[in-house]
Homo-oligomer: A and B are copies of this chain.
Amino acid sequence: MPVACKIKESIVASSMIRRMFEEGIALRKERGDDKVFDFTIGNPDLNPPEAFYQAAQQQVQDRTPGVHGYMPNAGYDFACAAMAKRCSREHAVDCSAANIVMTCGAAGGLNVVFKTILNPGEEVIVLVPFFAEYSFYIANQQGVMVTVATNDDFSLNVDAIRSAINEKTRAVLINTPNNPTGRIYDEASLNELCSLLQSYHEKGQTIYLVSDEPYREVIFDGAVVPPLLNRYSESFCVTSFSKTLSLPGERIGYIAQSPAMSDQGEVMNGLIMCNRILGYVNAPAFAQRVVASIFQERVNIEPYVKRRELFIKVLDDAGLQYCKPQGAFYFFIKSPCDDLVFVDQLKKFGILAVPGRGFGLKGYIRIAFCVPAEKIIASAPLWIEAVKTLQV
């Protein structure tokens, strides 16, 4: 057999998001760009802010020897210091550079955290629906993913989490604002979750809280994403500039540990070593330098605000049900029938969406609205037609 058995299985069952993304490329070639409405992938179409281009310009002019060379595996001191400032502000803590590891995006950061903390067979609680890649990140590091339901409105169900905890539980992974639902976990439920984990910590079983939060700055209607690291000492924030600065292809993010974490030096040594030995070695030098100098900038999210409004109208007109997203740039829509059937029906009309089962929850579909407004507007009659002609 040419590839490992597990990889062969995974290729077959591979991420529906990516598969739909590739299908979209094929469909555009076949039908023409204007006939395809690809809402599959969270690939921000907004350009980075002006400050990015200026900072990048300055970086590439720097001919100081070594600026493209190796640096400590945690990243440049100045980059870690900048992220510490950002994290301290967002999480109401007093982080220092020593609490930060620069990573190849949040995906790299999550792998580094899991590699550092998981013994083989230890469990990570993940809330349904979830970003499908989590299952790989946990399995890569020999962990076991345990899925736990959320409430009907996709808010935290702490009782369900409580019931899922056992002596093998090593971490709870949350994603807020959430992909795919757009839900932001509120302060009360986070407090409840943190108390629960604190009680285990005090009994001697440390369950890390890992917050994957690349969408923290993509929020609507004046929503607030509560700080987290200040609530529970054994917590990590893993994030990236993929959405905040529209740089997903540059693979730049970081891990922050709570400055109150127990054994934080040992944990940090583990994170730094895992960043190295997993083959990332370090986050890309150029991107580190750029984000260190513009970490207070962000893309203007007004277009997302407008598109969300447009999509609300489109979905309402088509008679579809959904929870209004508070953040991120997705709608997780109740499917009028089996989600695979509905996705196929939409495809007939040139609309590409991802079935909910790709996020561990059948009966829904996800659409991404980080696409031009004209695409959303032009798709409106097709949504209506697709729903109307659905043979259930």
A190 interfacial contact with B, CB 8 Å: no
A266 interfacial contact with B, CB 8 Å: yes
User: Which residues of chain A from 250 to 308 have any CB-CB distance to chain B below 8 Å in the complex?
Assistant: 250-251, 262-263, 266-267, 269-270, 273-274, 276-287
Cα-based distance from A61 to B58 in the complex (angstroms):
11
A178 interfacial contact with B, CB 8 Å: no
A247 interfacial contact with B, CB 8 Å: yes
Q: List 8 A-B contacts (CB under 8 A).
A: A10-B273, A22-B72, A45-B66, A57-B60, A115-B140, A136-B278, A251-B285, A278-B279
**A residues contacting the other copy or chain, number (CB 8 A):** 80
Task: State whether A18 touches B285 (Cβ < 8 A).
Answer: no
Task: State whether B69 touches A249 (Cβ < 8 A).
Answer: yes
A interface list, Cβ under 8 A from B = 2-8, 10-11, 14-15, 18, 22, 41, 43-48, 53, 56-57, 59-61, 63, 65-73, 104-105, 107-111, 115-119, 122, 133, 136-137, 140, 206, 246-251, 262-263, 266-267, 269-270, 273-274, 276-287
Task: State whether B249 touches A71 (Cβ < 8 A).
Answer: yes
Cα-based distance from A140 to B114 in the complex (angstroms):
12
Which chain B residues lie closer than 8 Å to A18 at the CB level?
A: 73, 276
Which chain B residues lie closer than 8 Å to A3 at the CB level?
A: 116-117, 263, 266-267, 269-270
Cα-based distance from A249 to B72 in the complex (angstroms):
10
Minimum distance in angstroms from A121 CB to a CB of chain B: 11
B2, B70, B284: the one within 8 Å of A41 (CB): B70
